[in-house]
Structure 1
């Protein structure tokens, strides 16, 4: 009886393992890349000086995009043709972002509070916002 049960389990396992698996790729995805620039004077310090913030407004981040799609943000510190995906830490400065409908807010803070005041960028900061449409 045990041998018959084991044999049936083996047959069922082989049958399930040999099922054909299809990969479905949806073509024509409506992804969008937005490039924005932040001037050094546009970084605003918080009241305690511990955070530098800049707001990027864009009406393409509408209610549907905000609720349903993926939103990735990259920056090129000093507009140097190298993008770094947020969030990340560089030289004790922590770079992060928050998304709301119609805007992306970028923040720079100290990552370890050895120097609580973050370093203000003194060159243009290029920002790449990638909206990735989700098919539900």
Structure 2
């Protein structure tokens, strides 16, 4: 009985050791774009509840818009940090929308305690990452 168990263990260990694990890494064609929004470029909506700024870039074409991932980060006050949109900071909600050739960034109140958002007084650095889909 011991010999049979030993033979089965040997066969099982040889079978498991012969399994091959492959790691497949595909190189991606990602693109990082840095843009700036000057303080005077923020436009207030008619009701004053939204501040908006537009960034144009022809690299956001039909194919990129439909097939790829588009991530947006901002560095408030052009500091040494980035925050990924959307996020809320100090009752200000930061969000973005993407359309062909442009990205619109909006600042709104997150809870309407103070319905009118604070207009940035310094330059805002924006990082846009275009992530190409492999399909």
Which band: TM-score by shorter chain? Answer: 0.7 to 0.9
Deviations 1:68-102 (A, max 9, x none): 10000000000011100000000000000000110
Q: Please identify the structure whose Cα radius of gyration is greater.
A: 2
Structure 2, unpaired ranges of 5+: 1-14
Report the 3-state secondary structure (helix = DSSP H, G, I; strand = E; otherwise coil) of the residue aligned with 1:59.
coil
Matched, 1:61 2:60: yes
Residue 23 of structure 1: aligned partner: 23
Structure 1, unpaired ranges of 5+: 1-14
C-alpha distance in structure 2 between counterparts of 1:51 and 1:110, whole Å: 8
1:1-136 equivalences under 5 Å are 20-27=20-27, 29-136=28-135
The count of corresponding residues between Structure 1 and Structure 2 is 120
RMSD: 1.6
Give the TM-score normalised by structure 1.
0.84
Report the 3-state secondary structure (helix = DSSP H, G, I; strand = E; otherwise coil) of the residue aligned with 1:78.
helix
C-alpha distance in structure 2 between counterparts of 1:21 and 1:67, whole Å: 34
- Detail structure 1 runs of 4+ shifted over 2 Å in the superposition: 18-23
Give the TM-score normalised by structure 2.
0.84
